[in-house]
């Protein structure tokens, strides 16, 4: 196990924020992970994965455990489905593309989401009508105190919209080590109802799309709206879409007829934070090197040398403006450290 000191995290977070970590350990096996946890005299552990949902606002005084594991195996399969176990350090999008090459369905709507496999369940990643909870059978996590593994069934993960038990009650208690996914080999469930997927497929002349076609549509749509972190630092949607009461929504709809709203099972309505921010003229807004993306108001970007504090100051300004205009609180989706 190698302990590096004062390591710049600029290349390890998709916002591209340059802060140092006091201690940095690359984890490529369970042995290394346990050794790193048990090492005396170091600051508290911090699990670093793809760094795609993270805003760093200050130097990190922590023993950073960088999840660099690789491996995927087929546990079981028949004519209809396949069960895969994937280690946490596998890049999510590469996994999605690999499953499609094998002819497996289920992850196509989740193509091009940045980050690694192990963090996908923490915020129950979702896009274009699919979420990881739809295909996750169980996951294996390691107790950060004892180093002991524990299996969480899908139900035990308590998934919600951009939420799981690992963001709530068990925050910081477990490191996700592997996920077990069940995908289809035939009878794929094709989801084209969300956003412009159906329109894109029609324009391409694809009448009976398979999973790989849906992935191509998702990739094209995401590329047209969302900045590539390799070119422009960002963390995807910075805010969650807020859920408000039906009364408040109807009231607002009366005043703003084009305001999108998606009714929830409990009668409340999810509204688009992107629309709210956009309506206040923030799309493309820039404050030094921190800004709001020009094509999607939900995404904050780093034009180069923004500090975490600058991005956070912009986020607060937007939260206040949305509150003032609509009396809606929008909360960050991104972890702020
Ligand atoms: N809208 C605007 N202006 C904007 C952005 C959006 O008016 O600047 C409107 C759109 O016209 C549309 C509505 O808001 O009517 C919803 O927009 P969109 O379909 O782009 O989705 P979103 O709510 O902005 C969510 C997820 C994305 C995911 C897309 C597609 C959250 C916080 N974000 O965005 O996830 O890719 O739906 O499923 O739930 C992420 O979490 O990092 C992420 C990118």
Question: Any idea what the CATH number is for the domain that residue 299 is in?
Answer: 3.90.78.10
Residues 131 and 157 in one domain: yes
- Confirm if 296 and 281 have CB atoms less than 8 A apart: no
Q: How many domains does the chain have?
A: 3
Residues 245 and 175 in one domain: no
Residues 78 and 179 in one domain: yes
User: Is 194 a residue whose pLDDT tops 90?
Assistant: no
Residues 34 and 91 in one domain: no
Cα separations in angstroms, 193 against 10, 136, 159, 188: 38, 22, 22, 15
The last residue of one of the domains, among 148, 169, 184, is: 184
Residues 18 and 62 in one domain: yes
Taking the whole predicted model, whether its pTM rises above 0.75 is answered as yes
Q: Whose CA is nearest to atom 20 of ligand 1?
A: 296
From the CA of 162, give the closest atom in ligand 1. Answer: 39
Q: Would you state the pLDDT for residue 245?
A: 96
**In this structure, what CATH number is given to the domain that contains residue 101?**
3.30.465.10
Catalytic annotation present for 153: no
CA distance 205 to 299: 31
Residues 55 and 76 in one domain: no
Is residue 228 domain-resident?
no
The count of C-alpha atoms lying within 13 angstroms of the C-alpha of 151, restricted to the half-sphere facing its C-beta, is 6
CA distance 104 to 171: 32
Tell me how crowded residue 294 is: count the other CB atoms within 10 A of its CB: 14
Domain enclosing residue 48, as ranges: 3-67
Catalytic annotation present for 162: yes
Residues 93 and 141 in one domain: yes
CA distance 94 to 251: 44
Res. 195 pLDDT band, cuts 50 70 90? confident
Catalytic annotation present for 255: no
Residue 208: partners with Cβ closer than 8 Å, 6 or more residues away: none
CA distance 105 to 83: 12
Buried b (16+ CB within 10 A) or exposed e, 275-293: bbbbbbebbebeeebbbbb
The last residue of one of the domains, among 124, 151, 184, is: 184
The count of C-alpha atoms lying within 13 angstroms of the C-alpha of 210, restricted to the half-sphere facing its C-beta, is 12
CA distance 85 to 138: 9
Residue 263: partners with Cβ closer than 8 Å, 6 or more residues away: 246, 269, 270
- Confirm if 63 and 43 have CB atoms less than 8 A apart: yes
Which residue from 272, 276, 277 has its CB within 8 A of the most atoms of ligand 1, so it is best to mutate? 272
> Which is the catalytic residue, given 131, 140, 310, 333?
333
Is residue 132 domain-resident?
yes
Residue 183: strand pairing partners: 82
Residues 237 and 162 in one domain: no
Residues 121 and 175 in one domain: yes
261-315 pLDDT per residue, tens: 999 889 999 999 999 999 999 999 999 999 999 999 999 999 999 999 999 999 9
95-115 pLDDT per residue, tens: 999 999 999 999 999 999 999
Is residue 220 domain-resident?
no
The last residue of one of the domains, among 67, 87, 105, is: 67
30-56 pLDDT per residue, tens: 999 999 999 999 999 999 999 999 999
Residues 170 and 274 in one domain: no
Give the strand pairing for 54-55 and 335-336: parallel
Sequence-ordered strand ranges (E) for the chain: 3-8, 20-27, 45-48, 54-55, 60-67, 72-77, 81-87, 126-127, 130-131, 136-143, 149-153, 174-184, 233-237, 243-244, 261-263, 269-271, 286-287, 290-292, 299-302, 335-336
**In this structure, what CATH number is given to the domain that contains residue 50?**
3.30.43.10
Task: Tell me the CA–centroid distance for residue 130 and ligand 1, in Å.
Answer: 14
Is residue 332 domain-resident?
yes
Residues 54 and 96 in one domain: no
Q: Whose CA is nearest to atom 43 of ligand 1?
A: 237
């Amino acid at each position: 196990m190698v302990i590096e000191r004062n390591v710049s995290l600029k290349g390890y977070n998709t916002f591209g924020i340059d802060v140092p970590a006091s201690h940095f350990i690359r984890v490529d096996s369970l042995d290394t992970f346990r050794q790193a946890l048990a090492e005396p005299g170091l600051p508290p552990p911090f699990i670093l994965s793809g760094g795609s949902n993270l805003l760093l606002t200050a130097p990190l005084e922590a023993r950073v455990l960088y999840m660099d594991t690789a491996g995927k195996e087929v546990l079981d399969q028949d004519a209809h489905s396949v069960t895969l176990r994937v280690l946490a350090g596998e890049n999510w999008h590469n996994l999605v593309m690999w499953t499609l090459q094998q002819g497996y369905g289920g992850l196509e709507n989740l193509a091009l989401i940045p980050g690694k496999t192990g963090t996908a369940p923490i915020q129950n990643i979702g896009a274009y009508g699919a979420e990881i909870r739809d295909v996750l059978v169980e996951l294996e996590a390691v107790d950060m105190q004892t180093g002991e593994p524990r299996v969480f069934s899908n139900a035990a993960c308590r998934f919600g919209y951009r939420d799981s038990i690992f963001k709530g009650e068990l925050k910081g208690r477990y490191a996700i080590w592997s996920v077990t996914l069940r995908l289809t080999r035939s009878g794929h469930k094709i989801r084209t109802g969300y956003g412009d997927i159906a329109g894109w497929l029609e324009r391409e002349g694809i009448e009976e799309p398979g999973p790989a076609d849906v992935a191509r549509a998702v990739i094209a749509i995401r590329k047209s709206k969302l900045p590539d972190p390799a070119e422009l630092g960002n963390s995807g949607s910075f805010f969650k879409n807020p859920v408000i009461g039906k009364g408040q929504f109807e009231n607002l709809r009366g005043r703003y007829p084009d305001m999108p709203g998606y009714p929830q099972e409990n009668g409340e309505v999810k509204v688009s934070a992107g629309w709210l921010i956009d309506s206040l003229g923030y799309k493309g807004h820039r404050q030094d090197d921190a800004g709001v993306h020009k094509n999607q108001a939900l995404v904050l970007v780093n034009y180069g040398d923004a500090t975490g504090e600058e991005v956070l100051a912009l986020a607060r300004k937007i939260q206040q403006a949305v509150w003032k205009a609509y009396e809606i609180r929008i909360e960050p989706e991104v972890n702020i450290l």
